[in-house]
Structure 1
Amino acid sequence: MIFNGIFCCTCFGGQKENLNKKLIVIAVSVMTFLLCAFSDGAKDSEIQAFHIAGTTQGTTYAVTYYSEKELIKKTAIDSIFSRIDQSLSIYKPESVISQFNASDFGIETDVHFDKVIRKSMEVYKDTDGAFDITVLPLVQAWGFGTEKVGVLPDSSRIKSILPCVGSDKIRLRNNRLEKLVSCTQIDVNGIAQGYSVDVVADFLERNHIQNYLVEVGGEIRVKGKKYPGNKPMRIGIETPSKNEFEKTGIQKVIQLDQGAVTTSGNYRRFRQSGSQKISHIIDPKTGYSAQTSLISVTVIADDAITADGYDNALLLMGLNKSLRFLEAHKNLQAYFIFQKPDGSVSDTATAGFYPYVR
């Protein structure tokens, strides 16, 4: 959506295969006033903006690039998303991931599946299991998966599922992902949209496009600037005001020449059980909804798959643990919006995040 020249992208997080996934009150708005000259010395008047938009993975996507002529068509972008879905969508019974989940011992991988699993295992180990793609049985039990549930799981049900959960129960060897426990199932929705953004961005660069914005479900990767005007790429981060979560405004505007920005949040996608709100962010170690004061986490990284993987993990870790974790991870910068004990909303960020703020 475009309002007064501002391209607004709703951010999704965690499991995100339908229009409500990763839907949070903290949206990322993209101001596409992004500008610079190509290295070939073309005049501003010769460069055009080309826009491609559509639906994929249960949400929307938007691609904007700048060139003297049209270099990419919508059919090419849609074909990329189609191939990714055939690999990673748990909503397609014939996909590679669905075949793995239905198997007893594992299956042969394809290129998309292999890359996402490798990155997921890397983030799993780095975060001490805070990010874990084997959480699918718990996600299904709590009603955030492919099927609706009428009754929330009790403690005995959670206890019976936990032996199936844990990325130490899967092993990637050569071109095969193996199960060490037959009941283990995986869901890469917490990282797949970031990966999809990177695949499209890399496709643009292979076609000699050096100034672009790619957005899928609110996950963003940018490079270069926009014609005309010679203004840098800017991304606005929205925040709720005080306790009124439905009322938002731009809290921070960050500026990127190149890189990715993703957001994970837990406010809107939840189930109500009495007075308790159960977030779709499930702790793979306990089997229950993450208990955290964090409302959202926005991550800046070199690529979208990295930012997307870590934003979920940081949300589950909570504010203090996340800040300690990021002290040792200078390749990641993050902005946090959280709720104080008195119910008011506040924000903070890593020291390395503030230089991006404009």
Structure 2
Amino acid sequence: MPAPLQAFHLSGHAQGTTYAITYYAPDSVVTKEQVTQQLTEIDASLSLYHPGSLINQFNEARRGVLADRHLKIVGSAALRVYQDTDGLFDATVEPLVQAWGFGPQAPPAAAPTPATIRALLARVGSDKLHLRGDSLVKDVPTLRLDLNGIAQGYTVDVLAALLERHCIRDYLVELGGEIRVRGRKWPSGERWRVGIERPDTSAFAAPALQQIIDLTTGAITTSGNYRKFRQVGGVKNAHLINPKTGYPFQNEMISVTVIARDALTADAYDNALMGMDLAGALVFLRQHPELQVYLIYQRPNGTAADTATSGFQRLLLNP
């Protein structure tokens, strides 16, 4: 007779935020030390805040670097989503992110000038980035990568894979609000329930309500303009930068929640959808039935409204 499943909980700090893992197994087959080792390995590859990381080596190099497994997977995904979203998701936007005060360096005292933005746009564009064999190369020496938009989702997937290598089939992995689940809670057999913050009346209002999702497999991530912004001269600028114009996105989107098979995919598309207007997002989603999405947007009168794909609606728990 198989041993009964027990609940194990691991938590800590990583990538400038926190993580929490719950899994069910007969014994503690995955330890915090194993998780820490995995997180350290990812930071050594993808973290802009890690001085010697591979991505920082790429950013300082004139032509590129030999990519490790992490940089190849995330770099390839970034290029794929760049093509799929007509450039709205662009991992080379790092100089613009820094110029607007959201990068790893100290924020500038003022918003960038139009001349500065024009100069930086010449250094931005994933059409200048290529994976050639095991190498990640760039056409412009000043091209820089910022994979923060999808690195947390990827990290969640890597931690889920760590659990699955140890034959764990019931788990929840969360890092910085990005979540991936499989199976159920035990001994109750309940599905995993995930709450979604719902801002109240404007793009920068505090979260007020929650929707609850009932999930047994997949990943759920959220991107929004209501938490992370800077105020310069009385103007609130959100942290998501349009790689085509160089300015923060200006549209009706407040937040986007995406459910996908894996967290890397969900994390990439929640950012891209935040850059679309509502009509464009709905057209895009009709072309991507593999994504289930919940959109909160601002009406012209300033009030908040929401809509969701039919697949997302089926997962909602009604109050």
The residue aligned with 1:125 is: 83
Report the Cα distance in structure 2 between the residues aligned to 1:268 and 1:191, rounded to whole angstroms.
Answer: 18
Structural mapping, 1:306-321, within 5 Å: 306-321=265-280
The separation in 1 between residues aligned to 2:244 and 2:207, in whole angstroms, is 34
Say yes or no: does 1:165 pair with 2:96: no
Question: C-alpha offsets along residues 265-288 of structure 1, whole Å, 9 cap, x if unaligned?
Answer: 012211212332111100000000
Alignment correspondent of 1:29: none
Structure 1 counterpart of 2:27: 69
Aligned to 1:260, what secondary structure does the other structure show? strand
Q: Deviations over 1:194-248 (max 9, x none)?
A: 0000001011001000000000100000000011212111112121334593252
One of 195, 202, 208 as aligned partner of 1:248: 208
The aligned residue for residue 111 of structure 1 is 69
| Residue aligning to 2:217 | 258
Distance 1:307 1:246 in 2: 23
Q: Distance in 2 between matches of 1:151 and 1:274?
A: 8
User: What is the CA–CA distance in structure 1 between the aligned matches of 2:212 and 2:207, rounded to whole Å?
Assistant: 18
Q: How many residues align?
A: 315
So what's the TM-score if we normalise by structure 2? 0.96
Determine the C-alpha separation between the residues in 1 that align with 2:35 and 2:101: 32
> How far apart, CA to CA, are the structure 1 residues paired with 2:299 and 2:234?
19
Counterpart AA for 1:75:
E
Counterpart CA distance in 2 for 1:341 and 1:330 is: 28
1:104 to partner: Cα distance: 0.7
CA separation of 1:247 and 1:94: change in aligned 2, threshold 3 A: closer
Question: How far apart, CA to CA, are the structure 2 residues paired with 1:257 and 1:316?
Answer: 29
- 1:249 CA displacement: 2.3
TM-aligned CA deviation for residue 254 of structure 1: 1.3
Which residue of the other structure, out of 331, 335, 358, is the alignment partner of 2:294? 335
Aligned mate of 1:354, from 307, 313, 316: 313
Aligned to 2:46: 88
Match of 1:143 among 68, 90, 101: 101
Look up the match of 1:271: 230
**What TM-score comes out, normalization by structure 1 length?**
0.86
Q: Deviations over 1:153-190 (max 9, x none)?
A: 10000001111100001111001011101111010000
- Residue 140 of structure 2 is aligned to residue 181 of structure 1: yes
- The code of the aligned residue for 2:155 comes to S
Q: Runs of 5+ in structure 1 lacking a partner?
A: 1-40
- The counterpart of 1:191, out of the listed 140, 150, 155, is 150
Secondary structure of 1:133's match?
A: coil
1:202 counterpart residue number? 161
Q: SS of the counterpart of 2:92? A: helix
Residue type at the aligned position of 1:145: G
Give the fraction of aligned pairs with identical amino acids, expressed as a percent.
50
Per-residue Cα deviation, 1:40-73 (whole angstroms, up to 9, x for no partner): x757xx2210000000000000110001111111
Is residue 2:7 matched to residue 1:49? yes
Q: Which deviates more from structure 2 when the two are superposed, residues 273-282 or residues 90-99? A: 273-282
Distance across 1 between alignment mates of 2:278 and 2:236? 19
Partners of 1:242 and 1:161 lie apart in 2 by 34
SS of 1:134's equivalent in the other structure is coil
Q: Which has the higher contact order (CA 8 A, sep 6+)?
A: 1
SS of residue paired to 1:231: coil
CA contact (8 A) 2:199 2:226 kept: no
Report Cα offsets for 1:294-313 as digits up to 9, x if no partner: 11000000000000000000
- 1:225 counterpart residue number: 184
- 3-state SS of 1:355 partner: helix
CA distance in 1, matches of 2:206, 2:120: 35
1:25 is matched with: none
For residue 221 of structure 1, what is the amino acid of its counterpart?
Answer: R
**Which amino acid counterpart does residue 314 of structure 1 have in structure 2?**
L
Q: Show structure 2 runs of 5+ residues with no match.
A: none
State the distance in 2 between where 1:158 and 1:76 align: 43
Q: In 2, distance between residues paired with 1:232 and 1:178?
A: 44
